[in-house]
Amino acid sequence: MIEIRNLTYEYEPGKPVLKNISFTVEDGERVGLIGANGAGKSTLMKLMLGLLESTDAVFADGVPVKKDTLPEIRRKLGFVLQNSDHQMFMPTVAQDIAFGLLNYGMGQTEADRKTDEVLNQLHVSYLKDKYNHRISGGEKRMAAIAAVLAMEPSALLMDEPTSALDPENRRRIIQLICSLPQTCIITSHDLDMILDTCSRVILLDQGGIIKDGPAETILRDRELLEAHHMELPLSLSRR
């Protein structure tokens, strides 16, 4: 469970970018965070991960997210960055996946076994010995997700997971997200992807929650979306 309690955050005194935000994400939920640029999505995600620090306002499984709890929090929450190149820094896919496992004390044999397991789970075993700089953007995204899943987090936070992907890789990512048992919180401007993967949507604008409810209801509300500088998902606008 991820809980946000009366969260206000400002980079500059007197200029809050998030204003009294409160919500709870239960185990196994898939929640889409949507909003126009500047709505506060990225700041909220960084606070949930502890990349920015709040004062007893963000909790993961009841543990407050703050500097001295970050090792525990990082075991609970996995983060998939929008740009996979910022997440992958070892020469090969297998080395990248094993790095975190070894860093947490797992032996090499067990780390190799876990690497094989997660690549097989995602149906991308062929990537194992590939060099990261020689695979496509979609393959990098799958490899980055594999590295996070190998750590067995209880929740995944995903920032624009389908951005800049071709249709085939976008479809693969959507299918993967739908198959995951973990809690997922996804920020994206790809509202069709949010509609396909999330049962719940939280709409942010100017640092506040405008609407929190079923994805189908919010994403079909043309008037609501347009009032907050967004458009209907393409799959709905054609109907």
Distance CA 110, CA 56 (A): 37
Specify the pLDDT at position 3: 96
CB 100 within 8 A of CB 147: yes
C-beta neighbour count of 28 within 10 angstroms:
14
Q: In one letter, which amino acid is 150?
A: A
Distance CA 196, CA 238 (A): 16
| 121 inside domain | no
Specify the pLDDT at position 86: 76
Specify the pLDDT at position 87: 78
Q: Which of 142, 137, 112, 117 is nearest to 127 (CA)?
A: 142
Q: In one letter, which amino acid is 186?
A: I
Q: Which two tokens stand for residue 48?
A: 């949930």
| 64 inside domain | yes
| 118 inside domain | no
CB 2 within 8 A of CB 26: no
Specify the pLDDT at position 38: 86
- Domain residues for the domain of 80 are 2-86+155-237
Q: In what order do the strands lie in the sheet containing 15-25? A: 15-25, 2-12, 58-60, 63-64
Q: Which two tokens stand for residue 157?
A: 């936070």
| Interval 119-164: pLDDT, tens | 998 888 999 999 988 898 888 888 988 999 999 999 999 998 888 7
Distance CA 100, CA 3 (A): 26
Distance CA 81, CA 71 (A): 19
| 233 inside domain | yes
Distance CA 194, CA 31 (A): 8
Q: What is the pTM of this model?
A: 0.89
| 59 inside domain | yes
CB 116 within 8 A of CB 67: no
Q: In one letter, which amino acid is 112?
A: D
Structural domain count of the chain = 1
Cα distances from 121 to residues 16, 124, 125, 151, 168, in angstroms, run 42, 8, 8, 14, 18
Q: Which two tokens stand for residue 84?
A: 């996979």
Specify the pLDDT at position 239: 59
| 166 inside domain | yes
| 222 inside domain | yes
- pLDDT truncated to tens, each residue of the chain (239 aa)? 899 999 999 998 888 999 999 999 999 999 999 999 889 998 999 999 888 988 789 999 999 998 899 888 988 999 988 777 777 889 999 999 999 899 888 999 999 999 999 999 888 899 999 998 889 888 888 898 899 999 999 999 999 888 878 888 888 889 989 998 999 999 999 999 999 999 999 999 999 999 999 999 999 999 999 999 999 998 887 65
Specify the pLDDT at position 10: 92
Give the CATH number of the domain where residue 21 resides: 3.40.50.300
Specify the pLDDT at position 74: 85
| 81 inside domain | yes
